[in-house]
Structure 1
Amino acid sequence: MRGGQVAVVAGASGYIGQHLATAWRADGAEVRTIGRGPGADARWTDQEGLADVLEGSDVVVNLAGRSVSCRYTKRNADAILSSRTETTAELGRVLAGLSRPPSLWVNASTGTIYRDARDRPMDEETGELGTGFSVAVARAWEHELFAAPTAVRKVALRMAIVLGAGGGALNPFVNLARLGFGGRMGDGDQVFSWVHVDDVRRAIDHLADHPGVSGPVNVASPCPETNADTMRLVRRAFGRSYGVPLPAWSLEVGARVIRTEAELVLKSRWVDPRVLSESGFVFAHPDLDEALAEIACRTSRGLLPVALG
């Protein structure tokens, strides 16, 4: 976002939302926020407040949704689904009633929507959707976006695992490496598609400048790694020469202990950013080794905080 532009970020209290808001404000843009906390400019329960925040903005980015790092009990599963679909539907209703709506609505989605892929990458046109709870949530999430009764250009941001300093998905991997357990997970052949948090912001800026792009957009580095190579690179970046491999059964047990799902590391996610690449986007951090070195320089010593489900 450039100086003088207005961006609305829903879910701004999360890791990605905080990064977007900080970076765009540093660029001179005005950032308005939607959330449940006291610091938000508008609350989800206040339609009039939502309309005031959205009116006259340039871009709205919806990242709202309960963390998936938890056990998929019925209560958690219901919260994961409703926190995504209900907020997306509410945005659609409010946007439909505006006289000066934003020109672009970017709604978070996930690269997990594709099947477990070890044979070929999944792009937006030929990628095959998977099955299971996570895929069902992603499909329902995107359905609410594209069914919303507004003519605003819509993009479903199918993000790979987002990496960056100060939080996000990398912390558990760093902790395992620092504790000596940073070896391959399962057979280690599952593909690890990832994206640096800076490139998430840059991708949204790119989409704002390319009005011909709409629909699902994969946001993932064009250079994925296997899990085994990912953990080797994590160990190198954070100063560990060896890590004990973790078989699938141990990950299942460990996931129960910390109240999460082993699927988060055992599923093979091979996400191809075809739409971004063909529209001219160039990743600032395409190489995982370089990205991890950059992150390590800004990461504190010792064990890092990890949100438990």
Structure 2
Amino acid sequence: MPELPEVEALAHHLREHAVYRPVARVDVAGMSVVKTFDPPVSALVGRVVTGAARHGKFLAVEFADRPDEPLHLITHLSRAGWLRWHDTAAAAPPKPGRGPLALRVHLDAVGGPGFDLTEAGTQKRLSVYLVRDPQEVPGIARLGPDALALSRDEFAELLAGRTERIKTLLVEQQVLAGVGNAYSDEILHIARLSPYAAAGRLKPEQVDDLYAALRSVLTDAVERSVGQGAAQLKGEKRSGLRVHARTGLPCPVCGDTVREVSFASKSFQYCPGCQTGGKPLADRRLSRLVR
């Protein structure tokens, strides 16, 4: 799933390639992907791209025909969604329901440059909204503070009194916006914290380590990602991971075997040597901690 660094890089890519270009046509290939109806997506035709931004893990593209009346095309890419830039595209409208294409925006001219929103697999969760104000999108209205906008003291206040496991809190977008499953694994590994540690019971020095890891993991990933083409971003993300999606491989820090905890629809990875005092955590089929 694209997280804060990848969405920030996609916004940067659009600012470099799409701004000041008019919309020639919008093709909707997946009818269920568009979650709003007023204004219709056809209202984008003739408008000019004026910017691109990130709200947590939401990507927003701004279009305007007058500065005081912008429209925002906002997407949540979910688990298998992606944005693909193209220099040319087929002029014929795509047939709905065929292939991964969900929505295509033609810029300058039909068949010219633009971008596609695609989604692989059978679980269709990609969402697109066309709104006059980003706060009209329910997921954006509920977002907590951005993960890169917090000071250390604000981060400590956010954790204080929370009973959730720290892994759960880091990925809860209403608490902290932008971090997902992959980068939370990396943050906890660098901070040397168990995913099962209670957020509100961390010692001050552990909060310091966690905040420093949050900042370093995300800023390093943003720096690696920004400037990469959209097609290279997924590979760039994988190349920077030390524990996430590396089950069974040696930890690059201590050499212990990276382990996994599995749930019904997701999993996370961690290093026992670095994070749990050498004790492997159990998955959902066993007790919480193997003693």
Whose strand proportion is higher, 1 or 2?
A: 2
TM-score, structure 2 normalization:
0.27
Larger Rg: 2
Whose helix proportion is higher, 1 or 2?
A: 1
